[in-house]
């Protein structure tokens, strides 16, 4: 069950206030990912912190964890409908960040273009 607050903005902040949560969402907007793919795309995150955040996000209904009965086990993470509903918020953050980067003369790369396409496509 998701904790809620009297103010809807506070509820949203509670769910996405952790930087790792926002970055995990970012990656999952690009499609289903395995644990190793998420870990590789999040430099600086430990396995313990990633596991904890994924479990919390699953408990909150933002993503699903699918375990395939293989040896070694394959685990994949995907956004739920609730998690996908955060797309406009993350897209707005992307747009603001792109404008800021452009204002400061910073370029872009293929990954950023692909993310923009995923968020706006």
61/101 Cα distance (integer angstroms)? 32
| Structural domain includes residue 114 | yes
The answer to whether the CB of 63 falls within 8 A of the CB of 78 is: yes
Structural domain count of the chain: 1
Q: What is the pTM of this model?
A: 0.90
| Structural domain includes residue 34 | yes
Cβ atoms within 10 Å, residue 46? 10
Cβ atoms within 10 Å, residue 114? 12
List the pLDDT tens digit at each of the 121 positions of the chain. 667 788 999 989 999 989 999 999 999 999 999 999 999 999 999 999 999 999 999 999 999 999 999 998 899 999 999 999 999 999 999 999 999 999 999 988 998 999 999 999 8
Closest CA to 65 of 88, 46, 38, 86: 38
* CATH code of the domain containing 20: 1.10.10.10
> Which residues constitute the domain of residue 21?
8-120
* Residue 118 dihedral angles phi and psi, to the nearest 5°: -65, -40
């Amino acid at each position: 069950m998701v904790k809620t607050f009297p103010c809807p903005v506070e509820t949203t902040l509670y769910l996405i206030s952790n930087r790792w949560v926002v970055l995990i969402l970012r990656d999952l907007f690009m499609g289903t990912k395995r644990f190793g793919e998420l870990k590789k795309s999040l430099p600086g995150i430990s396995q313990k912190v990633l596991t904890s955040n994924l479990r919390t996000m699953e408990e909150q209904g933002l993503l699903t964890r699918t375990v395939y009965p293989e040896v070694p086990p394959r685990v994949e993470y995907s956004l739920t409908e609730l998690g996908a509903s955060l797309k406009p918020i993350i897209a707005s953050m992307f747009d603001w960040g792109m404008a800021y980067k452009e204002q400061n003369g910073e370029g872009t790369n293929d990954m950023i273009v692909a993310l923009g396409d995923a968020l706006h496509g």
